[in-house]
Structure 1
Amino acid sequence: MAEYELMWSKSEGTWIDVEHAPKPPSVSVSPSGEIVEGSSVTLTCSSDANPAASYSWYRGNQTLSEEQNGLLHFTSISYKDRGNYYCQSKNHHGQTNSTLQYLDVQYAPKLLSVSVSPSGLIIEGHSVNLTCSSDANPAASYSWYREGEDTPEASGQTFTITDSRSEHSGMYYCEAQNRRGRLNSTLHLVIEPVKQKLVAVGILLAVLLLAAPLCAFLLIRKWRTSKPPSQLGEEPDNTERLPSTHSEQQQGDLQYASIHFVRPRTDPIYSNTTAAGTSRQTQQEEADVEYAAVNFRQASSSPKHFHQEPLEDPSALYSTVKKGSTNFM
């Protein structure tokens, strides 16, 4: 039986380098846990990529940094730095973004404000609301104190005085507090007694009572001065005045007319003559011809009396008036 000895040998290893685009990066926050305003915070972005990726940090559409090591560092973080962050890793094979990382920065109450409702003058007996608000993370709790007292008057964001009295007037302050700090703000509350309101109403009524007769007198006086004398029962002035202007001279030349209608008498010469073809209606219309005598005279000093001039006056004017129209056959 023949025996054979097998001999094994190993070749040297060969490295195969496979390039690829970055894998989705991961984000870490240091220190971990709660982030307090004023502390130092670092965000780190890392991903698997070949060749090595470069990194950029974003907050919304705003580019914050482009660092090769993928770090975003806050020396003293502020409450304004709260928000969502993400990083982007890329090489010449591609790019990819991380998921959003919310950076929660805690801080003591800020921007504390107090208000009173209703605003303006407050009369006792009405309900009054004192309101306190602030910006805080975590949310603040509120307590209301009256100046000089250690025990709070009320707790909560709104302090309501249901039946207010003048004794409630004074200085109040609101305290907003969370585990990161506290902040106070003061408010001066003034509640007017009812008697002052009654005095104000009485003064107003007195002013109105005094002003009413004066206003009525002025209105009546204005009305009388705006009316013509004839409407106020006054007699018109009949005093004759000499014309002083050209317009008055023209008014002084006004003439008064007296018109007389006279039935025409039949002329014996033409009484039996009738034009051929003239209808009976035409004869009747001619018989209805009337004459008008118009007399003009200078106006007398009294416009109420008129004087009729005789027909033989040389200034008389005669006109022939025909009724209807004459039809000829």
Structure 2
Amino acid sequence: MRPERPEQHHRNDQYDQHEDPFAERPRRSGRFRVAVAGGAALSLCLVGWLGWQALANSSSDRAGAAAPRSSAAFSEGDLLDPSPAAPGSVAPSGAGASAAAGSPSAAPSGSSSPGGRQLAGRTVLLDAGHNTGNGRHTSDIAKQVDIGNSRKECDTTGTSTDAGYSEADFTLDVVHRARQILRDRGATVVLTQDGDRAWGPCIDERARIGNEAKADAAVSVHGDGAPGSASGFHVIMPSRVVAGKADTSAIVDPSHRLGVLLRDGFKAATGEPYADYIGQQGLDTRGDLGGLNLSRVPKVFIECGNMRNSGDAKRMTDPQWRQQAAQGIADALTSYLTTS
């Protein structure tokens, strides 16, 4: 939003009306007429000086009121244009439309926060779920890895929309968008993969990357593959797991706080409803995900929508909506890191 122009105040200066010193008078002696003329001259000088002062003050007041605002009054977000919608894109609705229009929300809006680089010195891990190359490396991703309380596949191929838009493409695009917002706010952003690996990484390595980076917070981005009748998004938080390599005792509480902020921020930014098929009010807790079990830093997953549902799929394939999704994720992380 462009700042409003300052209101200009105009004054109507009122001048005192003085009696005319040269009006007709009874005749007086010469000495008296000289005295009167002298007094009249002094009066005229006084009136002229007062009028000049009033005009000067009036001009000063008007100039002060019309002075432009300093450039410091503009936030970074004022200078950014929203990304143009792709042909056939979905117009945001509900809470998402309000967020896009700059309406107040639970988290900062715009691709850069008004507070500037308030995340300087903080490290964030963004985990783009799956990999577009996983389908060509099925034997590699099928190997079992230890997640503490069980063993699971290294990774999976992920899901896709009915039209073939893959979860791996979706997650990497959203992560790239969120990374830019967070970098603009001063954060160091670490990715588990940047489309630069043939497959993977495995779920245990994804957790290890965040641990080794000593991330202050981590979010794993996904799209769900539930039955087509199901819709909505949900956030998955770690349950308390103490078994083998896993010990989530220290991260359960902060991860829960991050999860609630992410749920609220994502809904505010996108307008996406809570999942109607899993969890409660957009939140779920699990102890069977290696990326959470093995994490030593506060971490949550977000299933941004059900890619098998036609309505969710239409939104998730829209670049404008994906920008809103990234905004919700970045805003939630910003809220978490600036209040923890």
TM-score normalized by the length of structure 2: 0.21
Q: Which has the higher contact order (CA 8 A, sep 6+)?
A: 2
The structure that is strand-richer by fraction is 1
The structure that is helix-richer by fraction is 2
